[in-house]
């Protein structure tokens, strides 16, 4: 009987020093699913950017939207909503940021439909747009 008590005491002291240190063991090696989720999110954004580029270039048949360029598409609060950054045309143009936003809002359903056909998801992501001025020189991100 004393041997049993001795083992219990040893086990409880070992468990308190080894297993109850306050560190979650799941966090020691990282989350293996995080990389895959990030990859899928980037894949979704790339597919959406390609679909938006094609839709703006020809499917919408709006001369104002045809002048816009898709700069990037990123998740906005998860992959259920995407933020598309579009750039105004360089040089002299009659397209203003307000006019571009108005036309994008008007064509939002058509653009969301174009994205929905390009991505394999149960629900098409909602689209929000940000209109930015043209980049200076047009060579940002290009190494010299």
Q: Give the tens place of pLDDT for each residue, 32-54.
A: 666 777 888 889 999 999 999 99
- Listed range (31-35, 39-43, 63-67, 105-109) with the worst mean pLDDT: 31-35
- pLDDT recorded at residue 110: 93
User: 1 pLDDT exceeds 60?
Assistant: no
CATH topology of domain 37-132: GMP Synthetase; Chain A, domain 3 (3.30.300)
Which helix (DSSP H) or strand (DSSP E) does residue 52 occupy?
A: helix 32-54
10 Å CB burial of residue 49 (0-12, 13-18, 19+) is: buried
pLDDT-derived band at 144, boundaries 50, 70, 90? very low
- pLDDT recorded at residue 133: 92
User: 66 pLDDT exceeds 60?
Assistant: yes
Contact criterion met (CB below 8 Å) for 70 and 51: no
Ranked by mean pLDDT, the top range of 17-26, 29-38, 47-56 is 47-56
Q: Is-above-0.75 flag for pTM?
A: no
Q: Where are the domains of the chain?
A: 37-132
Antiparallel, parallel or unpaired: β 126-132 and 81-87: parallel
Bridge partners of 78, per DSSP, are none
């Amino acid at each position: 009987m004393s041997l049993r008590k001795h083992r219990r005491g040893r086990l409880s002291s070992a468990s308190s020093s080894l297993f109850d240190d306050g560190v979650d063991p799941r966090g020691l090696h990282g989350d293996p699913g995080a990389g895959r989720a990030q990859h899928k999110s980037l894949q979704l954004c790339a597919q959406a950017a390609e679909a938006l580029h094609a839709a703006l270039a020809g499917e919408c048949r709006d001369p104002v939207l045809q002048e816009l360029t898709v700069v990037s598409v990123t998740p906005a609060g998860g992959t259920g909503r995407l933020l598309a950054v579009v750039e105004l045309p360089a040089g002299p143009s009659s397209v203003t940021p307000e006019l571009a936003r108005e036309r994008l809002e008007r064509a939002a359903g058509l653009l969301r439909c174009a994205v929905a056909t390009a991505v394999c998801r149960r629900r098409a992501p909602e689209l929000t747009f940000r209109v930015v001025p043209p980049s200076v020189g047009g060579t940002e991100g290009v190494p010299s």
